[in-house]
Amino acid sequence: QVQLVESGGGLVQAGGSLRLSCAASGRTFSAKAMGWFRQAPGKERELVAAISVSGTTYSTYSVKGRFTISRDNAENTLYLQMNSLKPEDTAVYYCAAATVRLHPTIVKSRYEYQDWGQGTQVTVSS
């Protein structure tokens, strides 16, 4: 099991940037596939971006070219760099960890993630 703590959320104007961090405890972070999800009020939790154990990345269409997921295994930290933010990006953002058997695996389904952080609020004003 991995404990995850997100930080870096806040209020930003449209067009601005934020960098979210997710600090992971334990020695298994480097062996976990990781993901960033978000949940807006009244909506389901959705995948924003994911990264495999070996560093392959995926981002959903709505954030492609604006958001970048990365990981630093030496620091046990997952990042989400968010640029050109839009009001529709407003949500609570969660990081999550998944156990995988194959290192190139990108995990897209939220039901395959075992560990979740508490979330950090991102609000983008117009």
Query: What is the per-residue pLDDT for 91?
Result: 98
What is the C-alpha to C-alpha distance for residues 75 and 43, in angstroms, rounded to an integer?
A: 33
pLDDT grade, residue 27 (50/70/90)? confident
What is the C-alpha to C-alpha distance for residues 87 and 66, in angstroms, rounded to an integer?
A: 14
Please state the rounded mean pLDDT for residues 69-89. 97
Please state the rounded mean pLDDT for residues 8-36. 96
Burial of 86: CB neighbours in 10 Å, binned 0-12, 13-18, 19+:
middle
Torsional sign, CA 73, 74, 76, 79: negative
